[in-house]
Homo-oligomer: A and B are copies of this chain.
């Protein structure tokens, strides 16, 4: 019997998967969580074979949650579930130990198939993502943690001096980060930077 746990903050999605699993023999729905914290709490008591994990959670991202889960419970397989089809997100999930990636418009059959493959130790990627991952590896445009922090503050309208004060570093430092951001995201100025950041889901 395969035990399955769901982490998603959408009631309807949970209910949909639950109903799907219910009709399937050999798969047991053992609960769900609506955020990262309650997920970790649940895992202290129960370890499912598979977690179906949404990327967008209220308190954290599925990407981070996946990393933590895999670190503490390496035997649990994480199958990512998301509406977003952004490559960097997929890459991050896989890098953090996810065994597969499903888009939320997946059919029932696809979900079941994915669960089976993942359970057997395999990796399942939905068509779109599998195709996309094959394409030219634009691996570089990674922004660092600190840069992301700065980016968020820039998007919120803080000026360099303000950000420097907030992060307890000097102005030249923030300036350097800002310039790296402009270069990495190929933005000409803050306006373009913010637009790119928002449209790429960084913010």
Which of B16, B154, B188, B192 meets A16, CB within 8 Å?
B16
> A129 interface residue, CB < 8 Å from B?
no
Interface flag for A155 (CB, 8 Å):
yes
Query: Nearest Cβ distance between residue A164 and chain B, in whole angstroms?
Result: 15
Chain A residues touching B, majority SS: helix
Q: In the complex, are the beta carbons of B156 and A105 less than 8 A apart? A: no
The reply to whether the CB of A144 lies closer than 8 angstroms to some CB of chain B is: no
1/0 per residue, CB under 8 A from B, across A29-60: the answer is 00000100000000000000000000000000
Chain B: CB-nearest residue to A194: B194
Give the copy number: 2
A residues near B (Cβ < 8 Å) are: 9-20, 34, 83, 104-108, 111, 154-159, 187-195, 198-199, 203
Q: Which 8 A-B pairs have CB atoms at the shortest separation, nearest pair first?
A: A157-B192, A16-B16, A15-B16, A12-B16, A19-B19, A194-B194, A157-B188, A12-B13
Contact between A157 and B19 (Cβ–Cβ < 8 Å)?
no
Task: Choose from B20, B105, B159, B187 the contact partner of A9 (Cβ within 8 Å).
Answer: B105
CB distance from A110 to the nearest CB of B (A): 8
Instruction: Report A74 CB to chain B, min CB distance, Å.
Output: 27
